[in-house]
């Protein structure tokens, strides 16, 4: 009888630990009780990376048990024991570091010279051989109405030297919903996934401000990070006398490791007002441009973590003007130093996922690393209904 009982316990334990279970975590500020967006959640057993959405939520599937690491630049990191994650929508509270060290950083070296060193070192670290599993999604709006959506689980294989990286793209799964008019879809085909990823890896966005002539058009300043004493923030703003519409940069970096952790680039409405509107058929007049990119440092590994890009422009047609908005998100769900093997026929050589037929094997979007908000789910479901 005792033997049978032990056998039952062992079999029951194996059945429990062998099942895939879905977990949801909501990350909140312990003082304000508000959700924390862009908190990084790492499943330590599988090394899967997830980012919290605007609702502070992440969802993932776990077979067996694993501790969970939760962190965000402005907060103290926290490690959770897996046994505490049985509840659905388990709430995790983070403490704000609240160091308020945003004083001006005084250095013998000019901020631009420092930026040149930081970008050079970051490029060198990123120019390596590795692969990223990435969840990609794109929202398209036409005249203020959501008209198209696609997402996919893809692999980028990086091949790098000391100066730059190049990528090879393989698509595991993807889906597309909605209808695009021919003139709009032809225009959006220029949205090239490989080019975007290579821009992140090679930090091409910084080329305009690395040139010594940029000091005539930009003001550079550096402050301590207001909540994290280990980081600095460099702000680069167009001078008032500039006659062109120039980007505004904000760069968070580690001054010891000389690595970029996050950067954002925006064109302010005031700068856009300085651009003379184009009237030629086929011209684009930009009305919004936002880029926000973050990187992860994990021991010796350094790679893209997330990116968010939004661009809006008025497309001049013969008889009317169309406003087009594109929102693109990347999130790395897994990093691996090991190259994958593939046939040349497996390589995705198109520019955007809406050029590929739907291939859905699992509900990959539910455990993609970036959980859709309730609002986003409504948009996606509405576009799916149009198909």
Residue 85, domain CATH: 2.60.40.1120
Sheet holding 130-142, edge to edge: 165-178, 145-160, 130-142, 321-336, 301-316, 284-298, 259-266, 248-254, 232-238, 218-224
Q: Does the residue 229 lie in any domain?
A: yes
Q: Does the residue 240 lie in any domain?
A: yes
Model pLDDT, residue 215: 84
Q: What is the domain count for the chain?
A: 2
Give the Å distances, CA to CA, from 375 to 59, 259, 342.
16, 35, 38
Model pLDDT, residue 312: 87
Residue 51: which of 384, 370, 383 has the closest Cα?
Answer: 370
Model pLDDT, residue 162: 62
Q: Does the residue 34 lie in any domain?
A: yes
Print the domain residue range for 289.
111-386
Same domain, 123 and 62: no
Model pLDDT, residue 188: 57
Residue 134: which of 177, 188, 170 has the closest Cα?
Answer: 170
How far apart CA 311 and CA 291 sit, in angstroms, is 9
Residue 312: which of 358, 266, 255 has the closest Cα?
Answer: 266
Model pLDDT, residue 238: 87
Model pLDDT, residue 12: 41
The Cβ of residue 64 has, within 10 Å, a number of other Cβ atoms equal to 13
**Packing angle between helix 111-126 and helix 193-202, nearest 10 degrees?**
120
Q: Does the residue 133 lie in any domain?
A: yes
Model pLDDT, residue 236: 93
In a structure prediction context, what are the per-residue pLDDT tens digits for the chain, which is 387 residues long?
Answer: 444 444 444 444 444 445 678 888 899 999 999 999 999 999 988 888 999 999 999 988 887 788 999 999 888 899 988 777 766 778 999 998 776 656 666 666 788 999 999 999 999 999 889 999 999 999 988 888 888 899 999 999 998 776 778 899 999 999 988 876 655 555 554 468 888 999 999 999 999 999 888 888 888 999 988 888 889 999 998 887 655 667 899 999 999 999 999 999 998 655 565 666 666 777 777 888 899 999 999 999 999 999 999 988 887 777 888 888 888 999 999 999 988 888 888 898 888 887 788 999 988 888 788 888 888 889 888 887 665
Model pLDDT, residue 185: 56
Model pLDDT, residue 178: 84
Q: Does the residue 335 lie in any domain?
A: yes
Q: Does the residue 213 lie in any domain?
A: yes
Same domain, 134 and 276: yes
Residue 248: which of 200, 285, 213, 205 has the closest Cα?
Answer: 205
Residue at a domain's end among 64, 94, 124: 94
Model pLDDT, residue 62: 80
How far apart CA 65 and CA 17 sit, in angstroms, is 7
The Cβ of residue 314 has, within 10 Å, a number of other Cβ atoms equal to 16
Same domain, 357 and 226: yes
How far apart CA 21 and CA 11 sit, in angstroms, is 18
Same domain, 130 and 55: no
- The reported pTM is 0.85
């Amino acid at each position: 009888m005792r033997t049978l009982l032990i056998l039952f316990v062992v079999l029951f334990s194996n059945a429990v630990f062998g099942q895939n279970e879905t977990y949801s975590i909501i990350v909140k500020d312990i003082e304000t009780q508000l959700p924390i967006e862009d908190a990084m959640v790492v499943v330590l057993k599988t090394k899967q990376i997830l980012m919290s959405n605007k609702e502070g939520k992440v969802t993932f599937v776990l077979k067996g048990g694993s501790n969970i690491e939760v962190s965000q630049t402005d907060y103290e990191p926290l490690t959770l024991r897996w046994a505490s994650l049985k509840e659905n929508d388990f709430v995790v509270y983070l403490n704000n570091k609240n160091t308020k060290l945003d004083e001006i950083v005084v250095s013998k070296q000019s901020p631009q010279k420092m930026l040149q060193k930081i970008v050079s070192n970051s490029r060198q670290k990123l120019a390596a051989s590795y692969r990223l599993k990435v969840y990609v999604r794109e929202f398209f709006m036409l005249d203020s109405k959501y008209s198209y959506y696609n997402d996919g689980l893809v692999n980028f294989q990086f091949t790098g030297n000391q100066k730059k990286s190049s990528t090879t793209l393989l698509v595991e799964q993807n889906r597309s919903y909605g209808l695009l008019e021919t003139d709009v879809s032809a225009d959006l085909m220029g949205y090239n996934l490989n080019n975007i990823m290579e821009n992140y890896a090679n930090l091409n966005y910084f080329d305009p401000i690395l040139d010594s002539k940029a000091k005539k058009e930009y003001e550079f300043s550096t402050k301590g990070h207001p909540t994290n004493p280990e980081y600095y923030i460099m702000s680069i703003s167009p001078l008032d006398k500039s006659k062109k519409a120039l980007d505004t940069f904000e760069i968070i970096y580690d001054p010891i490791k000389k690595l970029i952790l996050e950067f954002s680039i925006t064109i302010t409405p005031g700068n856009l007002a300085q651009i003379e509107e184009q009237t030629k058929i086929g011209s684009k007049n930009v009305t919004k441009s936002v880029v926000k990119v973050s990187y992860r440092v994990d021991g010796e590994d350094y790679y893209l973590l997330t990116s968010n890009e939004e661009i809006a422009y008025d497309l001049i047609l013969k008889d009317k003007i169309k406003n087009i908005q594109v929102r693109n998100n990347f999130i790395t769900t897994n990093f691996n130093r090991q190259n994958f093997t593939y046939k040349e026929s497996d390589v995705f050589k198109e520019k955007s996922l809406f050029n590929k037929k739907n291939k859905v094997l699992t509900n990959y979007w539910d455990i993609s690393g970036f959980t859709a908000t309730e609002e986003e789910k409504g948009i996606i479901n509405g576009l799916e209904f149009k198909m």
